Structure 1
Amino acid sequence: MTETGNPSQPANVNEYTASHIQVLEGHEAIRKRPGMYIGTTSERGLHQMVYEVVTYAVDEHLAGHADTINVTITADGSVRIADNGRGVPVEVREPAGKSAVERELTELSFGSKRHTGYGVSGGLSGLGLCVVNVLASRLTVEVHRDGHRWTQEYEKGTPVTALTRNEATSEHGTVIAFRPDAGIFETTRFSFATLSERLQELAFLNGGLAISLTDERPERPVRHHHTDGLRAYVAHLNPYPPSLVHSPAIAFESENQDKTISVQVAMQWNTRPTGEFRSFANSTRTHEGGTHEHGFRTALTNLVNDYARRHDLISPDDEDITAEALQQGLTAVISLKLAHPVFEGATKTRLGNPEANAYVQETVREHLTDWLDHHPNEATAIIRHILNAST
């Protein structure tokens, strides 16, 4: 009910004018409806704040400018994320009169990342750092760039100091430290285990990137660095060597000529009744799948049936091996990176790009067919395992 005039008198229910319509804009909208931007204000949303900042550092790695990310849970409950990338730009542009780093931390940029230098990027498509800043009671940014160390402080998304040039330095990179707003989140206590699992996942998905996590509550350091990429990820998900149908895992990758889409795949069958399938788009877990998963499953089903019939592992009268049968004991990870991802929903749980379907199908058909043809013993063992598991 809307109250007007004297609060002791009942409101006129027939009075409904433009003054009753409240439009939330900018930072106010984020603080009033945080779930629209980070999914939830529960522990999951709390950790999403960290992932958004880490995503910017991962984008620097994908652009070829960073190979190390250090995440620290500090003793006072804040989180600090440091990378050795180029550093967020600090120059001032007119007519706004704001530095680039301040614009990145305070302005909403729906639909695309502000940095045109990123061919592939994750996070909230230009909203990430701003959303984190607005939902933090305190945030400090430290940039090593252009020969100096630059610093600025914010409270609830509003700068409380100017961007300050400090001492000279030859280092480069960005450090962002923030404390989540206790008035927004159900809990402000970060889970070491939760953060470690996601950071390890990012290290698997971005081979060559070293990510460390330190907890100062007490100190508990861990470092994730996997040069073997998705093959190491599958080995992590398949920790029981005696149950493996073949080893090592099958792994391949491909990138189109324009470098607008690339895919990495690793897969391995084991004799356990269940497997695990994980798909990602721009390092974001697509829990509900999407076009990249459909392309993978379609190509896998078709080419395995084709191989089995060409090598008389199933007779012409036998029915095709089903997609469900192929999943018996299959552990697979597919990681797609594309310049213009289309996700369904703000939390990015399902990929919708039609070109992803076609490209993944083409890549799987080419590379997995080649692997099967060059590994006949392993190929036969895989198909016999599938046939036995489905009977």
Structure 2
Amino acid sequence: MLKPLWDTLNDQKLDGNIKERPAMFLGTRGYEGLQSMIFTGIKSLIQSSKNLGKSQLQINLEEGQIALVFTLGAGNSLADWQQNQQVISFINLAVMKTLSTNFLIEIQFSNQIVSQEFKQDKMIAEVTRETSVDAEEIRIIFTPDYRFFGLKTLPYFLYYDFCQHLAMLNSDFSITLSEKDKQQNSFCYSNGLEIYLHKYDNYLSRKGNPAYFKGKIEQLEIEILISRNDQGQVMASFANSEPTYLGGAHLEGFFDGAIPAFNQFLEEQNNLAYYDREMFCDRFDVIVSVKLANPKYNGSTKQKLRNPEVYNIVKDFIHGEFLTFLRSYTMWYRG
């Protein structure tokens, strides 16, 4: 069960490379490196689920130790995680293990629980046991080796922002964050993108309810939110819940599909106005989010998505959906 994951966690050559060049795996050093290790590890963990909307994540913080419990919901299976060979996810979890003083991972799958425990990067226990509970779950308890990261733990508010952001970009994904007996917060949004938008837009100039579009085409999941706002200032795009600050194929596909659809609608309404990209951005706030199996980016910072197939799919999707919406709600664009 999940042999590629176990092999990666016990790869001695990989361990040596991580210890020698941790910044190469984390993208940064020190305090920021700790943040990268923890949050990237959590994102890798939840990639075991195809549908986060039916899954749950618990994060518990206690005196430098971090406990994660990820429960896959109905319709998800760890067998898919193994079949899809999530090598990058497995490496990210190996980084978490190697740069921790203590690391315990338990995987519950097919009425069986397999666990491995490491101390100072050395395995000290491996256990397999049967269970009558028919659930699929991954549990990780670890204590980062703070000597690598400047001897500082992350403050609670960083976890809070991370969890809220993750929940907003994955509607109906349930997250619980707690810090011993001090504080606890829960995050779950049925309209996550709208919550995200309203966190950053200019609410004084917001006009009515946003238009929401969702679809899945050729294994590409698409979510788009368009909101009327006379002082548009939100133009956000995401790939697999990661911000693509420089846009890319999904955002370009949106513009080249949505703006012609809007101009076609205006022409049908005998409205002489004609919108270019600048005018559209001044009058609308937009969020474009896609999820895909193999995202490709320009450069190592992953700020611009470059999958060429994404452009055409998003373009055709939003052109048809937006035009149909405008024809059905002819006064929406006026606010």
Note whether the superposition's TM-score is higher than 0.5: yes
Q: In the TM superposition, what whole-angstrom CA distance separates every residue of 1:237-265 from its partner, at most 9, and x where no partner exists?
A: 3473x5312x2211011111x4x212111
Whether 2:40 is the aligned partner of 1:81: answer: no
The 3-state SS of whatever aligns with 1:367 is helix
Residue 203 (structure 1) aligned to one of 167, 173, 181: 167
Contact 1:52 1:132 in 2 (8 A): no
Contact 1:73 1:215 in 2 (8 A): yes
Stretches of structure 1 that go unaligned for 5 or more consecutive residues are 1-23, 90-112, 383-391
- How far the C-alpha of 1:167 sits from its partner, in A, is 7.3
- How many residue pairs get matched? 320
- Structure 2 CA distance for partners of 1:129 and 1:347, relative to 1, 3 Å: farther
- Structure 2 CA distance for partners of 1:297 and 1:307, relative to 1, 3 Å: same
Contact 1:72 1:215 in 2 (8 A): yes
Q: Give the CA RMSD over aligned residues.
A: 2.9
Once residues 114 and 265 of structure 1 are traced to their aligned partners in structure 2, the CA distance between those partners, rounded to angstroms, is: 27
Contact 1:114 1:126 in 2 (8 A): no
- How far the C-alpha of 1:153 sits from its partner, in A, is 1.5
Structure ID, larger Rg = 1
- Structure 2 CA distance for partners of 1:358 and 1:65, relative to 1, 3 Å: closer
Contact 1:71 1:82 in 2 (8 A): yes
Whether 2:257 is the aligned partner of 1:270: answer: no
- Structure 2 CA distance for partners of 1:263 and 1:340, relative to 1, 3 Å: same
Q: Counterpart of 2:153? A: 189
Residue 322 (structure 1) aligned to one of 265, 276, 280: 276
The 3-state SS of whatever aligns with 2:304 is coil
Q: Counterpart of 2:83? A: 116
Q: Counterpart of 1:143? A: 107
Contact 1:267 1:332 in 2 (8 A): yes
- Structure 2 CA distance for partners of 1:287 and 1:69, relative to 1, 3 Å: same
Once residues 29 and 77 of structure 2 are traced to their aligned partners in structure 1, the CA distance between those partners, rounded to angstroms, is: 29
Whether 2:330 is the aligned partner of 1:376: answer: yes
The 3-state SS of whatever aligns with 1:328 is helix
Residue 188 (structure 2) aligned to one of 218, 222, 225: 225
Q: Counterpart of 1:302? A: 260
> Among the aligned pairs, what percent are the same residue?
20
- How far the C-alpha of 1:128 sits from its partner, in A, is 1.6
Higher helix share: 2
Q: Counterpart of 1:59? A: 47
Contact 2:233 2:282 in 1 (8 A): yes
Aligned residue type for 2:329: H
Once residues 262 and 180 of structure 1 are traced to their aligned partners in structure 2, the CA distance between those partners, rounded to angstroms, is: 34
Q: Counterpart of 2:294? A: 340
Higher strand share: 2
- Structure 2 CA distance for partners of 1:313 and 1:239, relative to 1, 3 Å: same
Runs of 4+ in 1 over 6 A off after TM superposition: 86-89
Q: Counterpart of 2:198? A: 235
Once residues 51 and 366 of structure 1 are traced to their aligned partners in structure 2, the CA distance between those partners, rounded to angstroms, is: 37
- Structure 2 CA distance for partners of 1:153 and 1:370, relative to 1, 3 Å: same
Once residues 143 and 213 of structure 1 are traced to their aligned partners in structure 2, the CA distance between those partners, rounded to angstroms, is: 21
- Structure 2 CA distance for partners of 1:306 and 1:42, relative to 1, 3 Å: farther
Contact 2:47 2:89 in 1 (8 A): no
Q: In the TM superposition, what whole-angstrom CA distance separates every residue of 1:213-243 from its partner, at most 9, and x where no partner exists?
A: 1123x62111111122323332343473x53
Residue 214 (structure 2) aligned to one of 228, 246, 253: 253
Q: Counterpart of 2:271? A: 313
- How far the C-alpha of 1:132 sits from its partner, in A, is 1.4
TM-score (structure 1 length as normaliser): 0.73
Residue 363 (structure 1) aligned to one of 317, 330, 333: 317
Contact 1:82 1:176 in 2 (8 A): yes
Once residues 151 and 44 of structure 2 are traced to their aligned partners in structure 1, the CA distance between those partners, rounded to angstroms, is: 24
Aligned residue type for 1:349: Q
- How far the C-alpha of 1:176 sits from its partner, in A, is 0.7
Aligned residue type for 1:38: L
Aligned residue type for 1:323: R
Residue 19 (structure 2) aligned to one of 9, 31, 34: 31
Q: In the TM superposition, what whole-angstrom CA distance separates every residue of 1:48-79 from its partner, at most 9, and x where no partner exists?
A: 222233224432332579511001121x2122
